[in-house]
Amino acid sequence: MFGATEYLVLGSILFALGLVGFLTRRNLIVIFLSTEVMFQGVVINAVAFARHHEHLEGQSFALFLLVIAAVEAGLALGMVVMLYRRKGTLDAEAWSLMRG
Amino acid sequence: MTSAAAYMLYLVFALGGVGLYLLLPKAGVRQTFAGAIIGLLAVVGLILVLATQIIGPGSSAGFFYLFAVVAVLAAARVITHPKPVYSAVYFVLVVVAVTALLVLMNAEFLAVALLIIYAGAILVTYLFVIMLAQQSGSPVYDRRSREPFWAVLAGFVLMAAVAGRAGDLPPSVADASESATATAQSDQPGNTSAIGAIIMTKHIVALEVAGVLLLISMIGALAMVRKELPVETLEPPPKPLGQIGREVQPF
């Protein structure tokens, strides 16, 4: 039986890889690319649950997830462009003024 | 999933975490080769655990293994590659592999939508911004990562917590009538019209909200980027006091 467990394991692996990238990388653009990798893991999870429960709720949820991903990419990249124009660098450490 | 399978999965995750830690950009000598070897060992172990413990021997799941391995390796390259352009291109590979997995799960419409939206639209935007903000050479913030050990540990804990429970799925909650209609819908007119039907009837409010959200984010992004910054303000030179108001045409 080819069930949903292996897809859930794969989705969790993709999500954790994205999390590690989000925490470690210092380039602002790569940080947001890591969130997109996390989105891929979540999409796999949603569709795997949709197939497990044999209805289409998960697939339509993943479709709305795509909308959120597009919104997030547009706003994040606008913010990155603004931050880059202000400081001339993509380093996230350049904005660590509030770190104690 | 039995507890033995879960522990083997944890072992594979720990191995992959060690490989990932070695692969992340760090100060000093990067152990790229050792990291790649350990990471590949972890991927092989993942295939073995999935094949022997979870999927079961004898089932033909070749395409799943192929695309899962492509997705995991490409995702690891996205977060470890020191150049952002290559990270974006490897992310395209992740999207293509995930698309293939969605086709394997009978989600054809979602697969094509993912390919068009991600690989076609979002990634092009990312590449534009990368080209726009590219700095010459390889800057130091791409060659040093921040706290790689603790981040890998956090990822391992998260992955173990999620994947360790992935085997204990409850039975399907769909009641008989709903699942019957769903399968009938997905059999008869195809996946696309079934999703269209469910979105236009059951989730119509969410669909409208999603449209409004896209509009708001577009306006927000425009307002944010259009804002004048101190370096770019080009004010006209101030006029002498007597000339103010002289150039206004009467209407």
Give the model confidence (pLDDT) of B187-238 as tens digits: 556 788 888 889 999 999 999 999 999 999 999 988 888 876 665 445 566 6
Show the tokens assigned to B153: 């540990």
How far apart are the C-alpha atoms of B15 and B10, rounded to whole Å?
Answer: 9
Asked if residues B80 and B16 have their Cβ atoms less than 8 Å apart, the reply is no
A34 contact residues in B (CB cutoff 8 A):
78-79
Least CB-CB distance to B107: which of A33, A47, A93? Answer: A47
Residues B200, B208: Cα–Cα separation, whole Å: 10
Strand partners, A91: A27
Count other C-beta atoms under 10 Å from residue B85's C-beta. Answer: 14
pLDDT digits (tens, 9 = 90+) for A79-98: 888 888 888 788 888 887 77
Binary contact (A43, B102; C-beta < 8 A): yes
Contacts (Cβ under 8 Å, ≥6 apart) of B245: none
Structure confidence at residue A57 (pLDDT)? 87
How many whole angstroms separate alpha carbon B87 and alpha carbon A19?
15
For chain A, the structural domain boundaries read 7-90
Q: Tell the residue number behind the tokens 């603004």, with chain if given.
A: A82
Predicted local distance difference test score (pLDDT) of residue B24 = 82
Q: How far is CA B112 from the centre of its chain?
A: 16
Assess contact for A27 and A91: CB atoms under 8 A.
yes
Amino acid at position B29, single letter: V
Cβ contacts below 8 Å, chain A against chain B, sum to 268
Q: Which of A44, A52, A55 to mutate to test the interface with B (most CBs of B within 10 A)?
A: A55
Which token pair is B114? 């993912």
B69's tokens: 């391995």
d(CA A31, CA A97): 19
Grouping H, G, I as helix, E, B as strand and the rest as coil, residue A27 is strand
Tell me the pLDDT tens digit for each residue of A9-66: 899 999 999 999 999 988 889 999 999 999 999 999 999 988 888 888 889 999 999 9
CA distance B237 to chain A (A): 24
Among candidates B69, B160, B83, B66, which has minimal Cα distance to B127?
B83
Looking at residue B42, what is its pLDDT? 86
Q: What per-residue confidence (pLDDT) applies to B82?
A: 85
> Which parts of chain B have pLDDT scores under 70?
1, 27-30, 55-60, 136, 172-189, 228-251
Nearest CA in chain B to A11: B163
Nearest chain B residue (CA) to A70? B122
Distance (Å) of CA B127 to CA A30, B139, B218:
11, 18, 19
Fold of A7-90: Helix Hairpins (1.10.287)
Give burial (CB, 10 Å; 0-12/13-18/19+) of B207: middle
pLDDT band at A68 (very low <50, low <70, confident <90, very high): very high
Residue with tokens 């191995």: B15
Q: Give CA separation, B47 vs A6, B94, B104, B191, in Å.
A: 10, 18, 17, 30
Q: A3 versus A2: which is more confidently predicted?
A: A3
Please judge whether B129 and A26 are an interchain contact, meaning their C-beta atoms are less than 8 angstroms apart.
no
Predicted pLDDT at A1 = 42
Residue B164 CA to residue B170 CA, distance in Å, equals 14
ipTM (interface predicted TM): 0.92
What CA–CA distances, in Å, run from A74 to A22, B6, B46?
18, 39, 35
Chain A CB within 8 Å of residue B145 CB: yes
Q: Are B115 and B99 within 8 A, CB to CB?
A: yes
State which amino acid sits at residue B131: M
- For chain B, the residue count is 251
Phi-psi group of B235: left, alpha or beta (phi > 0 → left; psi -120 to 50 → alpha; rest → beta): beta
The whole-number pLDDT of residue B183 equals: 53
pTM for this prediction: 0.83
Helix axes A57-87, B191-201, angle to 10 degrees: 80
Helices (H), chain B: 3-23, 32-49, 62-80, 84-104, 108-114, 123-132, 140-143, 148-164, 176-187, 191-201, 204-226
- Residue B210: the pLDDT is 94
